[in-house]
Structure 1
Amino acid sequence: MLKNTTLSLLLCLPGFALAAEGMWTLDNLPRADLEQAYQFKPDQKWLDHARLASARLAGGCSGSFVSPEGLVLTNQHCVIGCVSDLSSPEHDYVNNGFLANKRQDEKQCPGAEINRLESVSDVTGRILKVTNGLTGKAYNDAKKAEQSRIESECVAGAANTVRCDLVELYQGGVQHLYRYTRFQDVRLVFAPEYQAGFFGGDPDNFNFPRFNLDMGLLRVYENGKPARIKHYLPIKSAGAEPGELVMTLGHPGSTQRLLTAAQLETLRDVMLPFRLMIGYEYRGLVTQFASESAENARIVRSDLTNIENGLKVRSGQFKALLNTEVLTKKRADEASLQAYVQSDAARAAQFGNPWADIAAAQAIARQSVVRYQMIEGGLGFASTHLNYAKSLMRAADERQKPDGERLREFAEAGLPAVEARLLADVPVYPNYEKLKLGWSLTKLRERLGTDHPFVQQILGKKSPQKLAAEIIEGSHLADPKVRKALWEGGQAAVAASQDPAIMLMREIDPVARRLRAEYETEVESVEKRAAERLAAARFAQKGTTVYPDATFSLRLSHGVVRGFDEDGDTIAPFTDFNGLYRRATADEPFNLAPRWTAAQSKLNLATRFNQVTTNDIIGGNSGSPLLNANGEIVGLAFDGNIHSLGGAYFYDETQNRTVSVHPAAILAALKTVYGADKVVKELTVR
């Protein structure tokens, strides 16, 4: 439960922004606050440099360019998927770490993509023009078609090197087009052992003090050579001191601070409990598989980390929404805005009652969201083989349509990313696949009911485990050559395929598409249409002094190095290497990687290791550089404390903290623990 007093909580919710609150777009920074509090006035040159030095990992993380030769600094947990894909029983890079001492030793990450933001333009007018007066399916179709047209125009035939994303800000009230340079040749340079990057495991996750070298290094290539990068960030080994201005520059994934009370109630009552219940069962399944052998443990290490992290995040969000003060304040904010709208006849006519429309959509969402998630969301079909089958089938069908009529994820502008993920040569493990698919089919039957027509259609007289075994043992989709042939063969090749995964997907896809169309029409389009009016009403009342929710687009948050109070104890803002060795035991998750045991006598144990700051971040910010006013890296964000888990819905400066790796620890570990002298030299060249 949240421990804030009512007053402090209310002061920290949207509309009562404190100094450190907000994930701000670079074109709408709280300049007055920055100047008044820190005497910091970033000019356009500073902002352009910061934007071009920032990197977005398309898989869901942030990073930064840190050398003129394409070196990218991010988190270990952001590259562990690549590390896992490159690992084998003979080369266990997950548990032993990876270091490329020479350029030719750098290994390409299958399917990876890094983006650099080049420009942002406002296309709100175009979207509003084509959707004017429309509702329901007509609104949804018109909006998506125009978004795809805008993205395709932006890419203009250069989809292999250019990425364009339509970003909806203020719940759709503002539509911006983000144009990126796309780097699809991404290679692994360094990753520490899992035990060093995630020391303390789940018990320490979202807590502080922390002792993690959660860092990784990638390199982007162009035409087979390291990309030449003009804008990159220097590292300041001394870091920052308590009270000093620090800024995260990254790509926060998603917040829901502008949702209505009715939407938050749906999250609290239906969506979060459902995802938590199924998530805990899934963790038990994967944990048991891992316990059966060392090889099984290696196979699922990355998955298990992600599962446990997701559970902790959702648990924190659920607890936050159980606090009645959160929804009480949300309803008060809504009442204030409603009073503003209704106090003027012209405003009342212009904005109407979007709250009622959203509330009506929630009644439908509550009834349909579990079925939607199990079938269209894929929770009832947890299998890499079926994911491949779904992508192949849908891509084959959608590529036959005009761009504006396709499902958004298969729009022409985004196809290179779809193709790269689909054709990536990554290991697929049959026993693990059968276990996951058999379990998820069991959950499908359990959630929908044995007599549900769809369950009968899929399972027939077979058990979930028997059907899973037939699919996995008979499918050839684990072979990237087979997938490549089907991708290139298009609709005819996919239609002729007798692969059991594709044959099962033929049974699933029509139902999944229908559920998706219904949900988009009856829930999402209603929410988005109403959200546009809410955004317009907020703009009329407050302008852009309210920051937009996170959308995995570039944001800056400002704060200071500062500890916090926990149950009457003051938590200092820094940890050091000495604390790591004091905390270490002989058993997981507090056992040291062998290199760290051997290096103890060589390290300066007073070196700062991890630190906390008041920056406002959320998932997706992992790997964000922590910058000082000079644009120097003074930390590498990798986590938040336990109080930050409510950050999806509100921010509390008294306790919400960002956890980052101190730059002194990064450089000392690379040099002394790993002997990565060439990497250190590259990182420290100005």
Structure 2
Amino acid sequence: MRVLATAVLLALAVPVAADEGMWTLDNLPRESLKQQYDFDPGAEWLQRSMKSAVRLAGGCSGSFISPTGLVLTNHHCVLGCVQQLSSAENDYVNDGFLAASRGEEQQCPGMEINQLEKTADVTERIRTATLGLSGKAYNDAKKAEQSKIESECVGDDSKTSRCDIVELYQGGVQHLYQYRRYQDVRLVFTPEYASGFFGGDPDNFNFPRYNLDMALLRVYQDDKPLQPEEHFAVRAEGAKEGELVMTLGHPGSTQRLLTVSQLETQRDTVLPFRLMFAAEMRGILRQFGSQSEENARIAQSDLVSVENGFKARSGMFRALLAPAVMAEKAEAEKALRDWVMADAGRREQYGDPWQEIAGVQQAWRDLYVDYSLVEGGLGFISQHVGWAETLVRGAEERGKPDGQRLREFAEAGLPAVRARLLAKSPMYPEYEKVKLGWSLSKLRELLGADHPFVREVLGKRSPEALAAHIVDNSKLADPALREQLWEGGAEAVAASEDPAIVLARSVDRFGRELRQRYEGEIQSVERRAAEQLAAARFALKGTSVYPDATFSLRLSFGTIKGWEEKGEPVAPFTTIDGLYARASDYDPYKLAPSWVEARPKLDMDARFNQVSTNDIIGGNSGSPLINAQGEVVGLIFDGNIHSLGGAFFMDGSVNRAVSVHPQAMLQALEKVYPAGHLLKEISVR
């Protein structure tokens, strides 16, 4: 196993166009960085930066900014935690939260923070384990070897160590990422919703912006604040226009290396379904929230998530509907394919992976809705059913040898599964009934009332009646019972007659059937073909092509820069004065009382939000924007409207990353909120 400790991460010099790319630290475009920015990050810079960056395992990024474990991330990244800690008496979502002392910091239920320690290239080991195999045999052998590698990596240290196989270049390269795992994460500060998401959905993915989308967490170890090896300092004045800035975060998922046939499946099947589903769910949540102030509070974080996803997927869909985008993708694919087919040796070595992938797309389109509703969980939107599915499936999987389990129940990942299962979460029965009843109705509508699985699940009940039966009679809201069933294993779960577990048994059985079809008939073909495609790309271009995002640590580089919109320049900065100019008496532009009161004390010229040319995607939320000295000069929280097609391509002329400026964060902590104790703790330069 070739370990790539960051101390020796000296990357291959490769050219890259513009500021595009989410680069792994072992393959930075060093020549471009030297030529464009006179910047050549050394081993020490990379080591310090890697150790200072962290990942919120639920899907965001962050960074250490103090020697006592303070983590800077986004307000919207901790919204789920804040919602869980809130109640009708303490509405931390809308009122904000500030711990006046460390004793008041509250643990976020089920939250985990990961800090990358090292990576290793295990491509050859997995390739050897799958040599000559195809279909289900290939998939099974690959998963077994991946689980074995992860288990070896974690060893006896599963409480504090996490190891993930990261598939790069559509599976053509396999890396092992070893993390330090922290599961005691406490909320320190988050602003009011009106400040953290000022402008709401109308301003989302737009600019100018005026969002204090920031939050502070603290990592604890052995019930004491962590003293991290490294942390970033915050550059008070931020960066200048045109200055080199880099994001160091964990972008979630891009599909820039998909084939044209795969993109057509996204355009014609996946995105239309997800958009229609989200649009209807948004209506259900809004209707529930309109019934009372308490209902609105209960549904608030779910509604934000659904609306954000809807807007993001809308942008992705529009991108794939653009003829020029698909034409460019087709041209690039044809060039590589022609290069392979022009030589008999290359044809024999790489085959025709494009045709192999195209050959399974119809099967995936036919299966997609069923798979999403059952195995993907969209037909059973409920905490009760979610807990029950984890217990039922987990009981069976944990009884198998590690290499034969489903990947999400591999031994190396069980601590995170257990933590999520046992997290203490508030339960709102009427809200549960609405969500579960509606999602069951979609299951019946889309699969059909005569579908055997629908008949098995509903029997003679209506979706609403079954939802009420489960919510009124299930006892799984009690974390102690969930722990008892988890620790009791297969015997305890099998003996349970809890109605949520009874439903989960049916879901598990049919879900496994769908998953076997997908993995055996579709995924295994796509992954095997993707390896061939990756090999062909490497043969032609080397590693000058960056891999798709995989929620693993990446660096993107760019500059502070505005853009031109319909012939008019868009300035790269907004100011606090602009916030008050935009504010009104009505949501979502109504100022929080704290900002109304603080107005006389604030510097109106202080910068609030900014844009840069960095290449980002969902998952980058909470990423530090750093300068060449490794100082925080911004906090990534969004992209502009043009960036929504970033899942498939980047247009560097208009795609922009949006971040909170340090001046806004420091002014807020000093003059808006009584957080001087935190300012003293943060390393500010």
TM range (shorter): over 0.9
- Asked if 1 retains the 8 angstrom alpha-carbon contact of 2:15 and 2:32, the reply is no
How many angstroms apart in 2 are the aligned matches of 1:215 and 1:361?
43
Q: Which residue of 2 aligns with 1:6?
A: none
Q: Give the superposition deviation at 1:684.
A: 3.1
How many angstroms apart in 1 are the aligned matches of 2:683 and 2:362?
56
| Equivalenced residues, count | 672
Q: Which residue of 2 aligns with 1:684?
A: 683
TM-score normalised by L of structure 1: 0.97
How many angstroms apart in 1 are the aligned matches of 2:81 and 2:461?
36
Per-residue displacement from partner, 1:484-524 (whole Å, max 9, x unpaired)? 11011111110000100001111221111010111111111
How many angstroms apart in 1 are the aligned matches of 2:167 and 2:228?
29
Q: Which residue of 2 aligns with 1:465?
A: 464
Q: Match of 2:629, SS?
A: coil
Per-residue displacement from partner, 1:383-423 (whole Å, max 9, x unpaired)? 11000000001111111000000000000000000000000
- RMSD over aligned Cα atoms: 0.9
How many angstroms apart in 1 are the aligned matches of 2:297 and 2:582?
25
Q: Which residue of 2 aligns with 1:240?
A: 239
The one-letter amino acid of 2:464's match is Q
Asked if 1:40 corresponds to 2:39, the answer is yes
- Asked if 2 retains the 8 angstrom alpha-carbon contact of 1:254 and 1:618, the reply is yes
Q: Which residue of 2 aligns with 1:448?
A: 447
How many angstroms apart in 2 are the aligned matches of 1:204 and 1:556?
27
Q: Give the superposition deviation at 1:18.
A: 2.6
How many angstroms apart in 2 are the aligned matches of 1:489 and 1:665?
51
How many angstroms apart in 1 are the aligned matches of 2:169 and 2:156?
30
Asked if 1:383 corresponds to 2:385, the answer is no
Q: Which residue of 1 aligns with 2:618?
A: 619
Return 5+ residue gaps in structure 2 as ranges: 1-13
- Asked if 1 retains the 8 angstrom alpha-carbon contact of 2:236 and 2:684, the reply is no
Per-residue displacement from partner, 1:191-212 (whole Å, max 9, x unpaired)? 0001100000000000000000
The one-letter amino acid of 2:28's match is L
- Asked if 2 retains the 8 angstrom alpha-carbon contact of 1:189 and 1:217, the reply is yes
- Asked if 2 retains the 8 angstrom alpha-carbon contact of 1:56 and 1:62, the reply is yes
Per-residue displacement from partner, 1:528-550 (whole Å, max 9, x unpaired)? 00000000000000000000000
Q: Which residue of 2 aligns with 1:252?
A: 251
Q: Which residue of 2 aligns with 1:263?
A: 262
How many angstroms apart in 1 are the aligned matches of 2:487 and 2:683?
45
Q: Give the superposition deviation at 1:685.
A: 5.5
Q: Which residue of 2 aligns with 1:100?
A: 99
Matches within 5 A, 1:319-338: 319-338=318-337
Q: Which residue of 2 aligns with 1:204?
A: 203
The one-letter amino acid of 1:151's match is E
How many angstroms apart in 2 are the aligned matches of 1:103 and 1:346?
65
Asked if 1:65 corresponds to 2:67, the answer is no
Q: Give the superposition deviation at 1:566.
A: 1.1
Per-residue displacement from partner, 1:111-154 (whole Å, max 9, x unpaired)? 00000000000000110001011110000000000000000000
Q: Which residue of 1 aligns with 2:6?
A: none
- Asked if 2 retains the 8 angstrom alpha-carbon contact of 1:67 and 1:685, the reply is no
Q: Which residue of 2 aligns with 1:410?
A: 409
Q: Which residue of 2 aligns with 1:308?
A: 307
Q: Which residue of 2 aligns with 1:665?
A: 664
TM-score normalised by L of structure 2: 0.97
How many angstroms apart in 1 are the aligned matches of 2:602 and 2:438?
47
Per-residue displacement from partner, 1:160-200 (whole Å, max 9, x unpaired)? 10000000000001000000000000000000001100000
How many angstroms apart in 1 are the aligned matches of 2:588 and 2:15?
40
How many angstroms apart in 2 are the aligned matches of 1:16 and 1:109?
43
How many angstroms apart in 2 are the aligned matches of 1:229 and 1:508?
43
Per-residue displacement from partner, 1:574-618 (whole Å, max 9, x unpaired)? 001100001001111000000000001110111100000000000
- Asked if 2 retains the 8 angstrom alpha-carbon contact of 1:53 and 1:233, the reply is yes
How many angstroms apart in 2 are the aligned matches of 1:587 and 1:655?
31
Q: Which residue of 1 aligns with 2:341?
A: 342
How many angstroms apart in 1 are the aligned matches of 2:683 and 2:219?
18
Q: Give the superposition deviation at 1:565.
A: 1.0
- Asked if 1 retains the 8 angstrom alpha-carbon contact of 2:611 and 2:659, the reply is yes
- Asked if 2 retains the 8 angstrom alpha-carbon contact of 1:206 and 1:640, the reply is yes
How many angstroms apart in 2 are the aligned matches of 1:250 and 1:418?
23
Q: Which residue of 2 aligns with 1:5?
A: none
- Asked if 2 retains the 8 angstrom alpha-carbon contact of 1:18 and 1:653, the reply is no
How many angstroms apart in 2 are the aligned matches of 1:36 and 1:246?
15
Q: Give the superposition deviation at 1:17.
A: 4.8
Return 5+ residue gaps in structure 1 as ranges: 1-14
Q: Which residue of 2 aligns with 1:567?
A: 566
Q: Which residue of 2 aligns with 1:282?
A: 281
- Asked if 2 retains the 8 angstrom alpha-carbon contact of 1:168 and 1:174, the reply is yes
How many angstroms apart in 2 are the aligned matches of 1:230 and 1:685?
17
Q: Match of 1:544, SS?
A: coil
Q: Give the superposition deviation at 1:76.
A: 0.3
Q: Match of 2:76, SS?
A: helix
The one-letter amino acid of 1:606's match is D
Matches within 5 A, 1:84-123: 84-123=83-122
Q: Match of 1:545, SS?
A: coil
